[in-house]
């Protein structure tokens, strides 16, 4: 066994003339989800398509691999080509603030959640650019969303040609001793 090189030993085990090796650094492009990088015994690096088995030069970048996927496997790439592009999304403070308000509404979380230390740490970890505003600012965002939704409901009810029946219910808050009516 000492007379066999590592490549020859691998070839004798696998029965092929290819040696699969680990890359020295992580393959970061998403295109590598569709290809396997292989080093042949002669030292040549190739990329094999997981979908059709086509072979490409594997150590000169990923443009040729992306082009192959676009030409031969359009159904995998999709119309938006998002699976091949780096996920660079533009940050919007307004959208994030609105999403936070909607989360609080949909899950019935307390407004004080925005004051919690570890919620702030968590949010900063997700995106350091996001500025969490006070609970009063979030309250005004929620009221704005309520007004928008109320206008949408009025518009919808005005556009309906048939009769609409609404049911209401009233309940009293235990903590604040306030009455609420729900439709």
Mean pLDDT across the stretch 97-109?
Answer: 95
51's CB contacts (< 8 A; 6+ apart) are: 34, 72, 73, 76
Calpha distance 64→28 (Å, rounded) = 16
Mean pLDDT across the stretch 109-136?
Answer: 93
Domain ranges within the chain, ordered by starting residue: 6-77, 93-182
Q: What is the pLDDT of residues 118-127, one digit of tens each?
A: 999 999 998 9
SS3 171: strand
Show the DSSP H helices in 6-92 as ranges.
6-14, 63-72, 74-77
- What count of residues does the chain have? 183
Helix, strand, coil abundance in the chain, percent, nearest 5: 45, 10, 45
Q: Are 4 and 57 within 8 A, CB to CB? A: no
- The pTM (predicted TM-score) of the whole model is 0.47
């Amino acid at each position: 066994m000492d007379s066999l090189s590592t490549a020859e030993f691998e070839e004798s085990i696998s029965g092929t003339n290819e040696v699969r090796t680990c890359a020295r650094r992580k393959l970061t492009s998403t295109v590598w989800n569709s290809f396997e990088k292989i080093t042949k015994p002669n030292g040549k690096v190739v990329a094999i398509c997981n979908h059709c088995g086509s072979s490409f030069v594997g150590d000169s970048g990923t443009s040729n691999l992306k082009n192959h996927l676009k030409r031969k496997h359009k159904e995998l790439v999709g119309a938006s080509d998002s699976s091949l592009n780096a996920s660079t999304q533009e940050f919007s403070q307004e959208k994030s603030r609105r999403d936070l308000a909607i989360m609080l509404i949909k899950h019935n979380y307390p407004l004080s959640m925005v004051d919690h230390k570890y919620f702030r740490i968590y949010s900063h970890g997700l995106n350091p650019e996001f500025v969490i505003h006070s609970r009063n600012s979030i309250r005004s965002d929620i009221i704005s969303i309520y007004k928008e939704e109320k206008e949408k409901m009025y518009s919808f009810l005005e556009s309906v040609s048939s009769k609409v029946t609404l049911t209401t219910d009233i309940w009293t808050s235990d903590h604040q001793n306030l009455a609420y009516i729900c439709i």
